[in-house]
Amino acid sequence: MTRGKILFSLIIGLFLVMGFVSALTLQEQESLILGYNAKLKNYADIAKMRVLTPGELGDALNIVKLRKVQMLDVLTKDTSLFAKLILDSSVIASLPDSVKGEIEIFVEKSGRINIEHADDFEGNNGKFLFSFKENDALFDIYFIDGIFEPFSSDDLLEFSGYKLGNSIFVIDLQIFLQEGGGGAFNPNTMGEQKVAVIFVGFKDRPFSFPFKTRYSDTITREEVEKVFFRCCRIL
């Protein structure tokens, strides 16, 4: 098989897997992942007694790759279910290193968290998006239900959880305290604050621009409210 045909096959395979993921319900995904976990436990038991054959190793690698796709999708939908499906550490420890690389691992991290908000203007399903940067790597952050604490973007946090691919599922966190106490370190409450305000006019909701120029160094709260609540009638 030529290199071009191999690449084409991989691309088609990826599209088929992603389409399969989106078509499954959470209950179906749970059942599928539990099946993957059972197979991996079986290979872990075998690996305790002897080295896996090339066929067994290839099957285990295929399982963890398919499982990873499903687990990452579940993580974006239901963090409690993700927590339930995490593979037991004793099983992971017994698997070959080449297989472990595609399975969630426990990590402890500290760093500044970035918070963004994504708005769904049609469905009114806005949500917060959290990310964490370590060196040149950027990770998406997800929180287990019930432990989320109020913090601001760029706050310094210490947290632990499970890393899978470029996602981290946080199970425990604390806001970093300054040396000697004094409360949480929050750089967003210190010094001059600057906010970028961008106005966007939609074809189905036009409005007249309320300022003399389209670019300004300063803008007041009242001017912002005038645009959103009076010109656009967004309540």
Strand intervals (E) in 56-198: 105-118, 127-134, 137-143, 156-164, 167-175
Identify the residue with better confidence: 54 or 134. 54
Q: Torsion-angle region of residue 184: left (phi > 0), alpha (psi -120 to 50) or beta?
A: beta
pLDDT reported for residue 17: 52
Mean pLDDT value across the chain: 77
My answer on whether 176 and 234 are in the same domain is no
Domain count for the chain: 3
Where residue 117 sits, what CATH number does that domain have?
2.40.50.1010
Over 60: is that where the pLDDT of 213 sits?
no
My answer on whether 80 and 55 are in the same domain is yes
Q: How confident is the model at residue 78 (pLDDT cuts 50, 70, 90)?
A: very high
My answer on whether 175 and 202 are in the same domain is no
**Model confidence over 91-147: pLDDT tens digits?**
999 999 999 999 999 999 988 888 887 776 666 667 788 898 888 888 999 987 656
My answer on whether 183 and 198 are in the same domain is no
| Average of per-residue pLDDT across 182-187 | 40
Quote the CA–CA distance of 45 and 53 in Å, as a whole number: 14
Q: Determine the structural domain holding residue 205 and report its residue range.
A: 194-235
| Average of per-residue pLDDT across 29-35 | 98
Q: How many CA atoms within 13 Å lie on the side-chain side of 131?
A: 11
Distance of CA 161 to the CA centre of its chain: 12
Q: Among 81, 100, 119, where does a domain finish?
A: 100
Quote the CA–CA distance of 173 and 115 in Å, as a whole number: 15
My answer on whether 200 and 115 are in the same domain is no
My answer on whether 40 and 7 are in the same domain is yes
Residues 64, 69, 70, 74: is their CA dihedral positive or negative? positive
pLDDT reported for residue 87: 96
Q: Torsion-angle region of residue 89: left (phi > 0), alpha (psi -120 to 50) or beta?
A: alpha
Q: How many CA atoms within 13 Å lie on the side-chain side of 27?
A: 0
Q: Among 65, 100, 135, where does a domain finish?
A: 100
My answer on whether 111 and 179 are in the same domain is yes
Q: Among 171, 187, 203, where does a domain finish?
A: 187
Q: How confident is the model at residue 196 (pLDDT cuts 50, 70, 90)?
A: low
